[in-house]
Amino acid sequence: MELNLQPIELEGVSKEHPLIIAGPCSAETEEQVISTATQLANKGIKIFRAGIWKPRTKPGGFEGIGVDGLAWMKRVKQETGMYVATEVATAKHVYECLKAGIDILWIGARTTANPFAVQEIADALKGVDIPVYVKNPVNPDLELWIGALERINNAGLKRLGAIHRGFSSYDKKIYRNLPQWHIPIELRRRIPNLPILCDPSHIGGKRELIAPLCQQAMDLGLDGLIVESHCNPDCAWSDAAQQITPDVLDYILNLLVIRKGHQSTESLHELRLQIDACDNELMEILAKRMRVCREIGTFKKEHNMTVLQTGRYNEILDKRGAQGTLCGMDADFVKQVFEAIHEESVRQQLEIINK
Ligand code: PEP
Ligand code: MN
């Protein structure tokens, strides 16, 4: 299905630069909201975020200030001129936000994962023209992400965007949520005119990772950033470890290198031709390897051998992994490549054996 989209253009917000949304994870007190918003506005930030209702993984955490916080968001609009954005997870949240004049809505990762909840929000938004950003679902499922965007779009909303906030995983080594950049990149390929923002705060889960993640998102051509920023991060009621002061945010944004999306220079064209030639060679050599594999398949069939010979497979993975490291490639990457090649070889041999 094609999405019927319109650009999210906000008066006074430059189209030339990455779109920046910033503000605390949660609205906590009126003073915290106004103080953070004022500091951000002084740094030139035009869109303020704050969670009013907070979906928390475990009960007992701060679950959001609720409707009272919407009045503080109104004050932010009046006193700073910023646009204000918050998360909605139910039809009631939608009605309250519309009543309070919230400018931009987003759907959180836990909500996107639930089609019933997304449909309820879509129904509540029918006939309303407001920008909506859809965060990726917690699980790395691109179809679920696109499905949520389709539900909102089917309700008639055209000013849509996506937010990449990483994917949850049992194995939390560096990141709170694994970036799995290939997923937003695939989203870009599937829906080229959909703006995609990156949320480095929820990917990283810690302050030190915000700057490198922002840069990575820009290098991959994403359209903007939504960053958690708090006037006193250490005392934040939610996600304290990943929030940064408006000063630090400003410092990070000033150091960002924004590369041009399109390059027209001759040299880039030349280099792309070289890549195409390499890819052709790769395909030819892969096809040749598969031919040899099929011959081995015939041999195995004639000698009544099993297709999978584990010893040989391990030998290939070890040898090529080590060789990859010597050639400056990541050993895991090389392993993955050979696992994929091996899988296809096995499939082809099984075809021969079962003929
Ligand atoms: C948030 O933006 O504060 C939030 C709860 O994010 P996510 O839905 O990505 O976990
Ligand atoms: Mn948060």
Cβ < 6 A, ligand 1 pocket: 25, 51, 108-110, 135, 165, 199, 202
Task: Take atom 10 of ligand 1 and give the residue whose Cα is closest.
Answer: 109
Task: Take atom 2 of ligand 1 and give the residue whose Cα is closest.
Answer: 25
One domain, residues 216 and 281: no
C-alpha distance from residue 127 to each of 104, 153, 199, 253 (Å): 15, 11, 28, 36
Q: Would you say residue 163 lies in a domain?
A: yes
Higher pLDDT, 251 or 171: 251
pLDDT digits (tens, 9 = 90+) for 223-276: 999 999 999 999 999 999 999 999 999 999 999 999 876 666 778 888 888 898
Task: Take atom 8 of ligand 1 and give the residue whose Cα is closest.
Answer: 108
Instruction: Give the pLDDT confidence score for residue 321 in this predicted structure.
Output: 87
Identify which of 52, 63, 87, 229 to mutate to test ligand 1's pocket (most ligand atoms within 8 A of the CB): 87
Q: Determine the distance separating the centroid of ligand 1 and the alpha carbon of 146, expressed in angstroms.
A: 18
One domain, residues 295 and 150: no
Q: Are 176 and 203 in contact (CB under 8 A)?
A: yes
One domain, residues 213 and 286: no
Choose one of 207, 232, 255: the last residue of a domain: 255
Instruction: Give the pLDDT confidence score for residue 355 in this predicted structure.
Output: 85
- Residue 244: name the closest of 46, 24, 37 by CA: 24
Instruction: Give the pLDDT confidence score for residue 58 in this predicted structure.
Output: 85
Q: Are 107 and 140 in contact (CB under 8 A)?
A: no
One domain, residues 73 and 199: yes
Identify which of 52, 118, 202 to mutate to test ligand 1's pocket (most ligand atoms within 8 A of the CB): 202
One domain, residues 60 and 173: yes
CATH assignment at residue 284: 1.20.59.10
d(CA 351, CA 294): 9
One domain, residues 298 and 162: no
Higher pLDDT, 112 or 355: 112
Q: Are 99 and 155 in contact (CB under 8 A)?
A: no
Task: Take atom 9 of ligand 1 and give the residue whose Cα is closest.
Answer: 109
Q: What is the mean pLDDT of the chain?
A: 94
pLDDT digits (tens, 9 = 90+) for 97-143: 999 999 999 999 999 999 999 999 999 999 999 999 999 999 999 99
d(CA 233, CA 310): 53
Across the range 141-170, mean pLDDT stands at 97
Alpha helices in the chain (DSSP H): 30-42, 68-80, 91-100, 109-112, 115-125, 142-154, 182-190, 200-204, 210-219, 246-255, 266-302, 310-326, 331-353
Q: In sequence order, which residues have a C-beta less than 8 Å from that of residue 135 and are 6 or more positions away?
A: 106, 107, 108, 109, 112, 162, 163, 164, 165, 199
Domain count within the chain: 2
pLDDT digits (tens, 9 = 90+) for 42-93: 999 999 999 999 988 888 889 999 999 999 999 999 999 999 999 999 999 9
Higher pLDDT, 330 or 47: 47
Q: Determine the distance separating the centroid of ligand 2 and the alpha carbon of 278, expressed in angstroms.
A: 44
Alpha helices in 179-224 (DSSP H): 182-190, 200-204, 210-219
Helix (H, G, I), strand (E, B) or coil at 25: coil
Q: Would you say residue 7 lies in a domain?
A: no
Q: Would you say residue 4 lies in a domain?
A: no
- Ligand 1, residue 26: give the atom nearest the CA: 3
Q: Would you say residue 2 lies in a domain?
A: no
Choose one of 236, 255, 274: the last residue of a domain: 255
Choose one of 209, 231, 255: the last residue of a domain: 255
Q: How many residues does the chain have?
A: 355
One domain, residues 292 and 154: no
Q: What is the DSSP letter of 176?
A: S
Q: Determine the distance separating the centroid of ligand 2 and the alpha carbon of 3, expressed in angstroms.
A: 28
Domain residues for the domain of 334 are 266-354
Q: Would you say residue 118 lies in a domain?
A: yes
One domain, residues 178 and 300: no
Instruction: Give the pLDDT confidence score for residue 262 in this predicted structure.
Output: 64
One domain, residues 130 and 237: yes
One domain, residues 76 and 145: yes
Tell me the ligand closest to 57's alpha carbon.
1
- Ligand 1, residue 202: give the atom nearest the CA: 9
